[in-house]
Chains A and B, each alone.
Chain A
């Protein structure tokens, strides 16, 4: 049995305590490939490489079966707010 989207969500929710989490199964259902957007306080003060490492180690068990993991966004809540405001300004 492969890794499920729900399994990835549950693991990240319990370990990273995200304020926003989006997991997309990009494998077409076989569970081998996921794209992730995650917003968490735990990223505060961490560089991008460190943030991705945190996600990778949170998913260490799942990574044994996942072939491709794409971390599209790893933001702090403050950064997410700033990004949303700037995109709203551009749209206006």
Chain B
């Protein structure tokens, strides 16, 4: 089936480029760093807190358009999504593997 609708329009892509470079570490998650709303998001928050790195979180539950657009932007189907230095780093499982090293 082909898609005739894309959530990621050029204006939104430009905005996302700015958001992911606004901080060294940016996490798109369900909930926020003080109140994660899913176990996978919570796992990544706890890892980042334990590493003592400053990071920014954005709640994708509050914005359905953002949620759909991010899936296309990162070519990644699920959340949380972690960005480091403006580049997509991975989801929960990848973050756990690297945190173990």
List residues of A whose CB falls within 8 A of some B CB.
48-49, 52-53, 56, 60, 63, 68-72
Contact = CB atoms under 8 A, between A and B. Distances in A.
A52 B77 CA distance: 11
B78 A69 contact: yes
Looking at chain A's contact residues, the main secondary structure is: helix
Interface residues of B, number: 14
A63 B77 contact: yes
Contact of B93 (A52, A53, A60, A63): A52
Interface of B: 40, 75-78, 88-94, 97-98
Contacts of B92: 70
A52 B40 contact: no
A69 B94 CA distance: 12
